[in-house]
Structures are given as C-alpha cells and as structure tokens.
Amino acid sequence: MREHTTEISLEREGALTIFDIRGYVSMDAGPAIKEAYEIIDPETVKNILLRFDEETYFNSEGIKSILEILVGAMKNNQKVGIAGLSKHFKKIFGMVGITKLATIFESENEALKSLGATKK
C-alpha cells in the first residue's frame, strides 16, 4: 500500500524558487503546498520550478492544489516550470490543462537552464 505522506521543501536560486515535492500529493498536502507558495515574495521570485520525482503520485485533490499554485503564479506574473513527472502524470497534467499554465520540462537541468537558475 502506498504511504500517504508528502515532503515539501523550498530552495532559492536568485529569482528562482524550487519547490521540491515528493510523495503522495493529495488533499492533505494542499495546505502545505499553499503555505509554501505564500512564503515566497512575488516581487523577488519571478520563476518557480515544481520539482517532483517519478515516484510522486497525485490524486485529483493534489492536482487541484497544484492548479491553485499555478493560478496564483499567473496572477503574480511568475513563470512556472515542472520537472520530474512520470510519463503518466505528464499526460494527465496535459489533459487537465496544467500545460497552459506551466511548462513541463523533460529534465531538471533543462528546467533550471530555462528558468535562470544560478547554479547547475
């Protein structure tokens, strides 16, 4: 049985903030994801990378939490990239319209380069 925990950490690289999100992204993770987004200053953080790993699992409420962050970023004129998704969730994210609000990158390095990371 899949463990229903989510780990979220933030890493700052100049004008880029990386959200490292791992585990089971569900309704329970929503408040922590929202809180992490509210911590960052939209005046200084212009780019966001949502970094997952291929083991990250999303249910519909978890996807809703990600969409809420993307809508907030759009309102704050922030560019968002997503890296590390499994092939399955790349397809799901495309089907629910996430690709209209964020760019899904094939690799973390590609995302970091595109979003202007200061290292890597």
Question: Is the model's pTM score more than 0.75?
Answer: yes
**CA dihedral sign of residues 73, 78, 84, 87:** positive
In a domain, residue 34? The reply is yes
Domain that holds residue 75: 6-113
Residue 1: its pLDDT value, please?
40
Each residue's pLDDT tens digit, 31-49: 999 999 999 999 999 999 9
| pLDDT level of residue 117 (50, 70, 90 thresholds) | confident
What is the model's pLDDT at position 14? 83
Q: How many domains does the chain have?
A: 1
Q: Is residue 18 part of a domain?
A: yes
Mean pLDDT of the chain: 91
d(C-alpha 74, C-alpha 8), whole Å = 21
37 assigned to some structural domain: yes
Residue 2 predicted with pLDDT over 90: no
**Quick one: pLDDT at residue 119?**
56
Among residues 77, 116, 84, the alpha carbon closest in space to that of 19 is found at 84
Q: What is the tens place of the pLDDT at every residue in 61-97?
A: 999 999 999 999 999 999 999 999 999 999 999 999 9
Q: Is residue 65 part of a domain?
A: yes
CATH number of the domain to which 55 belongs: 3.30.750.24
Which residue in 53, 59, 49, 66 sits closest to 22, CA to CA?
Answer: 53
Asked if the structure places residue 86 within a domain, the reply is yes
Is residue 72 assigned to a domain? yes
**Residue-level pLDDT at 66:** 95
Q: How confident is the model at residue 54 (pLDDT cuts 50, 70, 90)?
A: confident
Residue 12 maps to a domain: yes
In a domain, 1, yes or no: no
